[in-house]
Amino acid sequence: MANDLLTRARRTLAAAGDPARARTAQAYMKSSMPYHGIAAAPFRKLAKELLADQAFTTAEAWQRDVLAVWRPARFREERYLAIALAGDRRAAEFRTPAALPMYEELITTGAWWDYVDDLAAHQVGPMLDTHPRPMRHAMLTWSRSPDMWKARTSIICQVLRKDRTDLEMLYACIEPSIASREFFLRKAIGWALRAYAWRDPAEIVRYVRENDARLSGLSKREALINVEGRRKSSRAR
C-alpha cells in the first residue's frame, strides 16, 4: 500500500511542482534534498487527496507505511506527505508511546526545523494529553539527549497546550539545554517560554529574571516578546 502511495505521490507532486519555487524553497531551507516547489495550501489539498483511500488497519501497518514513504523520499514534499500520514486523524488511536521509535527516526533523520517543529507540536505534544505519565518520562529523557532535535522536541512539544502546559516539565526539559550555544535550542527555549507567557506573563518574567545569567539573550528576547508587547500596549492606552 505504501509503495503504491509513494508511486502515486511522486507523479502527483512532480506534476504540481514549480521549478522556480522549488529552487527558492531549497535555498531558503538550506536543504540538500530538493523540492518540487508546491505552496503550502495546494500541498495540503494534494496530500488530503493522496491519503483519502489510505487504510489504517493496525498501528504496526501505519508505522510501516509512514516509514515506507519517509525513508526512500527524494523530495522534501514526499517527507511532508509522510508527516501528514503520521498525523492523519484516522490514525489517532495509534499515536501512543509505542510509536515513539518511529517519531524518533523521523526527528533524528529529518534533523531540521520544518520537520521537527511540526512533529513536536502537532503529533508528539498531543500524546501528553492522552498518555501523560509515559510521555512525560519520555520527554524528560529526550531533553537530556545529545541529539539536538530530540532535545528541541522535548522543549517545544507543549507550545500548543496553553492551560494544559505542564510547567514543571517544561522547565525540566529546558534545564539540560539552558546553557547551550546551539541556535535551535536557544530559539526553542524562547519559543516555549513565549507560548506560556500568553497564559501567565508574570511567571515567565519571574523565570527569566531568576535565570537571567544562564539564559541566552536570544532565549530571553523570544520569551518576553509578548510580555513587552502587552506592556507597550498598556502604556499607550
CATH 3.10.620.30 applies to domain 98-237 = no
C-alpha cell belonging to residue 98: 509505542
State the Cα–Cα distance between residues 35 and 134, nearest whole angstrom.
36
Cβ–Cβ under 8 Å, residues 120 and 103: no
Of 142, 137, 53, give the one whose Cα is nearest residue 90. Answer: 53
pLDDT tens digits, one per residue of 36-62: 999 999 999 999 999 999 999 999 999
The 3-state DSSP class for residue 125 equals: coil
Q: Which fold has domain 1-94?
A: Leucine-rich Repeat Variant (1.25.10)
* Residue 25 pLDDT greater than 80, yes or no: yes
Q: Does residue 234 have a pLDDT over 50? A: no
Q: Where does the pLDDT of residue 226 fall: very low under 50, low under 70, confident under 90, or very high at 90 and above?
A: confident
**Angstrom distance (rounded) from CA 190 to CA 122:** 19
* Structure letter (DSSP) for residue 112: S
pLDDT in tens, 79-104: 999 999 999 999 999 999 999 999 99
CA–CA separation, 117 vs 37, rounded Å?
A: 20
Average pLDDT over residues 129-151: 98
Average pLDDT over residues 144-155: 98
Query: Residue 2 — pLDDT band, cuts 50, 70, 90?
Result: low
How many CA atoms does the CB half-sphere of 100 hold within 13 Å?
Answer: 19
Mean pLDDT check: name the lowest of 17-26, 72-81, 227-236.
Answer: 227-236
Q: Which DSSP helix (H) or strand (E) runs through 208? A: helix 201-210
Fold match, 1-94 / 98-237:
yes
CB of 164 closer than 8 Å to CB of 172: no
Q: Where are the domains of the chain?
A: 1-94, 98-237
For the chain, the helix, strand and coil percentages under 3-state DSSP, each to the nearest 5:
75, 0, 25
pTM higher than the cut 0.75? yes
Side-chain-side CA neighbours of 231 within 13 Å: the count stands at: 9
